[in-house]
């Protein structure tokens, strides 16, 4: 089993390979600085537990008062989504910049749009980049083979649960321990997703 540090290095390789392959298509993007449509209106932000661990480490490096504010925003996002209410990403700052930009998950890296987004015009990606993104997600799930995938605040909530974190960091895999939360929050077991794809 690879160590967590080694897996995090491999995670960056998957991101970098995707960026390199998608760059020619993204050159046509209509995206501009200050547009945060993907962070406010584009639905769930699906991440793997490994990506969640990277984000959790980023949050833990913030000053104490920022950490408290982020944790409140994550809990509020969870509540809104549990009630099927719209909710912007809790990591989007007031100036519409991403708090963890250098460590943002793949769900945010893969999205761009060939047309400017509006309430009625969601992001439009080229088929080639969609396919590259799907392949990268498969690679991310294979890399995080004792982990899970789901919306950002749900995965961070799981990682904040000491018993879950301990099992996960040890490289162990106990899906029955998250069965109830997983079923009610659309959490995917990466090993099952890999099997279904193969």
Considering the complex, what minimum distance in angstroms separates the CB of residue 111 from ligand SF4?
9
Could you tell me which residues are beta bridge partners of residue 121?
Answer: 118
Distance CA 189, CA 179 (A): 10
Chosen residue from 91, 132, 137, 178 binding ligand SF4 by CB under 6 A: 91
108 binds ligand SF4, rule: CB under 6 A: yes
The token pair at 195 is 């099997």
The token pair at 5 is 């540090």
% helix / strand / coil in the chain, to the nearest 5?
60, 5, 35
Chosen residue from 7, 46, 81, 104 binding ligand SF4 by CB under 6 A: 104
Residue 89 or 132: which CB sits closer to ligand SF4? 89
78 binds ligand SF4, rule: CB under 6 A: no
DSSP state letters, 57-125: HHHHTS-HHHHHHHHHHHHHHHHHHHTT-----TTB-TTS-BTTGGG--HHHHH---SS--BTTB----
Contact 96, 31 (CB under 8 A): no
Considering the complex, what minimum distance in angstroms separates the CB of residue 101 from ligand SF4?
6
Binding residues for ligand SF4, total number by CB under 6 A: 9
189 binds ligand SF4, rule: CB under 6 A: no
User: What residues from 21 to 50 belong to the interface with ligand SF4 (CB under 6 A)?
Assistant: 39, 45
Q: Which stretch binds ligand SF4 (CB under 6 A): 18-26, 70-78, 98-106, 134-142?
A: 98-106
11 binds ligand SF4, rule: CB under 6 A: no
Binding site for ligand SF4 (CB under 6 A): 39, 45, 89, 91-92, 98, 100, 104, 108
């Amino acid at each position: 089993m690879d160590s967590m540090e080694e897996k995090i290095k491999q995670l960056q390789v998957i991101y970098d390979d995707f960026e390199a392959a998608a760059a020619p298509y993204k050159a046509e993007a209509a995206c501009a600085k200050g547009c945060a449509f993907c962070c406010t209106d584009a639905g769930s932000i699906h991440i793997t537990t490994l990506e969640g661990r990277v984000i959790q480490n980023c949050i833990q490096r913030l000053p104490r008062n920022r950490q408290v504010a982020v944790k409140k925003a994550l809990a509020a996002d969870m509540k809104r989504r549990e009630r099927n209410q719209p909710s912007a990403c809790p990591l989007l700052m007031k100036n519409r910049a991403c708090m963890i930009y250098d460590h943002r998950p793949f769900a945010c890296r893969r999205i761009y749009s060939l047309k400017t987004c509006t309430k009625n015009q969601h992001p439009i990606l080229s088929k080639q980049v969609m396919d590259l993104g799907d392949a990268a997600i498969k690679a991310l799930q294979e890399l995080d083979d004792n982990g899970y995938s789901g919306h950002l605040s749900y995965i961070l909530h799981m990682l904040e649960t000491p018993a879950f974190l301990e099992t996960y960091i040890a490289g162990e895999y106990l899906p029955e321990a998250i069965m109830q939360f997983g079923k009610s929050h659309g959490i995917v077991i990466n090993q099952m997703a890999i099997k279904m794809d193969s």
